Structure 1
Amino acid sequence: MFFATDFFLKIQAAILRYVCGITVNISGTENLPQEPYLIASQHESSWETLYFHALLGHPTMFAKREVFSYPLVGFLARRVGHIPVDRNGSVDAMRTSFAKGKQAAQAGRNLLIFPTGTRGPAQKAKLHSGVAVLYQLVDLPVVPVLVSSGHCWPPTSIWKYAGEIRVRILPSIPAGIHRRDFLDRLSKDLTTQI
Structure 2
Amino acid sequence: MLALQYLRSLIFVIQMYLVMAILGVLFLPWAVLRKDGASQGARVYCRYVRWSLRLICGLDTELRGRVPEGAVLICAKHQSFLDIIIMVSQLPRPKFIMKASLRHAPFLGWYALRMGCVPVDRGRGAEAIRRMMRDVTAGSAAPGQLIIYPQGTRTAPGAALPYKVGAAVIYEETGQTCHPVAVNVGLFWPRQGLLRKPGKAIVEFLDPIPPGLTRESFRARLESEVETASNKLMLEGGFPEDELPDLDRGA
Say yes or no: TM over 0.5: yes
- TM-score (structure 2 length as normaliser): 0.68
For residue 29 of structure 1, give the secondary structure of its aligned residue in structure 2.
Answer: coil
What residue in structure 1 maps to residue 133 of structure 2?
Answer: 102
CA distance, structure 1, for counterparts of residue 160 and residue 103 of structure 2: 24
1:47 aligns with 2:82: yes
Alignment counterpart, residue 165 of structure 2, candidates 124, 129, 142: 129
Instruction: Give the superposition deviation at 1:24.
Output: 1.3
Aligned residue in 2 for 1:72: 107
> Where does residue 49 of structure 2 map in the other structure?
12
Residues 124-175 of structure 1 show CA distances to partners (whole Å, capped at 9, x for unaligned) of 5511101111011000111110011112211111332222111111111110
In the alignment, the residues of structure 2 paired with residue 183 and residue 19 of structure 1 have an alpha-carbon distance, to the nearest angstrom, of 39
Contact 2:94 2:147 in 1 (8 A): yes
Superposed CA deviations along residues 25-63 of structure 1, whole A, max 9, x for unmatched, are 222217x4x652100000000112233222233221111
Match of 1:142 among 178, 201, 211: 178
Identity of aligned residues (%): 26
The answer to whether the 8 Å contact 1:83/1:100 transfers is no
CA distance in 1, matches of 2:114, 2:106: 13
- Residue type at the aligned position of 2:183: V
**Alignment pair present for 1:167 and 2:198:** no
Structure 1 residues 180 and 141: alpha-carbon distance in aligned structure 2, compared to 1, 3 A threshold: same
Among candidates 55, 62, 65, match of residue 25 of structure 1? 62
Report 1 or 2 for greater relative contact order, CA contacts < 8 Å, sequence distance ≥ 6: 1
Separation of aligned partners in 1, 2:70 and 2:110: 28
SS of structure 1 residue aligned to 2:181? strand
What residue in structure 1 maps to residue 94 of structure 2?
A: 59
The residue matched to 1:177 in structure 2 has which SS? coil
CA displacement 1:4-42 (0-9 Å, x = unmatched): 222222322222110011111222217x4x652100000
The residue aligned with 1:111 is: 146
1:176 correspondence with 2:212: yes
Q: How many residues align?
A: 188
> Pairwise CA RMSD of aligned residues?
2.1
Structure 1 residue runs of 5 or longer lacking an equivalent are none
Counterpart contact for 1:60–1:104, Cα < 8 Å:
no
